[in-house]
Amino acid sequence: MIFNLINRKIFTLLKVQYSNMLEYRVEIALWAISGIIPFFMLNIWTNNNLNESINISDIMLSRYFLCAFFVRQFSVVWVVFSFEEDSLMGKVSPYLIQPLNPFFRYFAQHLAEQITRFPFALIIAFFFFIFNPESLWIPNLGILLLSIVSTFLSFLIQFLIQSIVACLCFWTEKASSIERLLFIPTLFLSGLLAPVVSFPAYVKSWIYLTPFPYLIDFPANLLSGNETNISGGLIMQILWIFLLFPLFKKIWSAGTKKYTAMGS
C-alpha cells in the first residue's frame, strides 16, 4: 500500500519532470555532447600508447572510455546547484510543507533528464562506432543488466553525496563551493580521465576504499568486459549507499531545524 502510494507519487513526478525536460531538449542534447571528455582521454591514451603500460588493448581501452561516457551520462548529478538556487530564491519553502521530501523532486528531475538524454547518448555512440568499427561489441544480457544496475547505484551514490553537500545550504548559502572540493577527486579517482587500474598499486589500495572508483571505473569496466571483481564492486556500491543514506537523513533533519526560509 505504502509502496503503491510512493510509486504513484514518483511515477507522476517522473511524468511531469519528463514533460518539463522535453521543453529543454536542445539544452539536454548539448549537455550530452559536453560529456564527451572520455573520448578526448581515449585519444590522449591511444596516441601516446599509454595503455601498453597497463596491459589493456586499444580495443578494450576504447570500449572502456565509451562505457565511461555512457555511465557518466546516466550518473551525472547537479542536485547541489538546484537545491542551492531553490533555497536562495525561497522555492524550497512550499516544497517543505508538502508531504513529500523535496529531494524526491530532484531525484525525479535527474531520472527524467536521463531518459531525455538517452537517445542523444545513443546517437553519439553510433558515431563512435562509425569511426571505431573495431570497437563494436555486444555485451551479454547478464552483464548488460548488471551494468545498468551498477550505473544506477553509481547515480544513487553521487546523488546522496551531493544531497548531503546540498543540505549544507542550511548552514552556508554557498554549498556548491564545498561541492567544488569533491570535483577534483571525482574527476581523477572515478576513472573518468584514466582507468583506476593505471594508478600505482599503493594508491589504488586507498582509492578502492573511497566511493570514487565505484562511480565510473567499476560500471565502465563491467560493461566493457574488462576484468573486474563484479560482486565486490556491487557490494561496495551498496555499502556506500547504506552509509550515505542515514548520513543524509541526519543532516537533513538537523538542517531543516536551522532553515530560516530566507528569500520567502
Q: Which span sits near other proteins by CB under 8 A: 5-13, 67-75, 121-129, 139-147?
A: 5-13
Q: Which three cell numbers stand for residue 150?
A: 551498477
Q: Which span sits near other proteins by CB under 8 A: 16-24, 32-40, 174-182, 185-193?
A: 16-24
Phi then psi dihedrals of residue 30, to 5 deg: -65, -40
Q: Does 257 bind other proteins (CB under 8 A)?
A: yes
**Nearest CB to other proteins, comparing residues 30 and 54:** 30
Q: Which residues contact 233 (CB under 8 A, 6 or more apart)?
A: 150, 214, 218, 219, 222
Q: Of residues 52-81, which lie at the interface with other proteins (CB under 8 A)?
A: none
Q: Which three cell numbers stand for residue 176?
A: 556548491
Reduced to 3 states (helix: H, G, I; strand: E, B; else coil), residue 49 is coil
> Residues 155, 138, 236, 200: is their CA dihedral positive or negative?
negative
Residue 82 beta carbon to other proteins: minimum distance, rounded to whole angstroms: 13
Q: Which residues contact 23 (CB under 8 A, 6 or more apart)?
A: none
How many residues form the binding site for other proteins (CB under 8 A)?
28
Instruction: Please report how the helices 141-167 and 217-224 are oriented relative to each other, as an axis angle in degrees rounded to 10.
Output: 170
List the one residue from 26, 97, 138, 209 that touches other proteins (CB under 8 A).
97
> Residues 124, 127, 129, 131: is their CA dihedral positive or negative?
negative
Q: Does 16 bind other proteins (CB under 8 A)?
A: yes
Q: Which span sits near other proteins by CB under 8 A: 4-12, 41-49, 147-155, 210-218?
A: 4-12
> Residues 169, 172, 174, 175: is their CA dihedral positive or negative?
negative
Q: Does 100 bind other proteins (CB under 8 A)?
A: yes
List the one residue from 3, 5, 48, 141 that touches other proteins (CB under 8 A).
5
Q: Does 1 bind other proteins (CB under 8 A)?
A: no
Q: Of residues 19-48, which lie at the interface with other proteins (CB under 8 A)?
A: 19-20, 23-24
Sequential DSSP letters for 101-126: -HHHHHHHHHHHHHHHHHHHHHHHHH
List the one residue from 98, 177, 205, 229 that touches other proteins (CB under 8 A).
98
**Nearest CB to other proteins, comparing residues 74 and 103:** 103
Q: Does 8 bind other proteins (CB under 8 A)?
A: yes
**Nearest CB to other proteins, comparing residues 19 and 205:** 19
Residue type, 30: L
Angle 99-105-107 from CA coordinates, rounded to 5° = 125
Residue 206 beta carbon to other proteins: minimum distance, rounded to whole angstroms: 35
Residues lying near other proteins in the complex (CB under 8 A): 5, 8-9, 11-13, 16, 19-20, 23-24, 90-91, 93-100, 256-261, 264
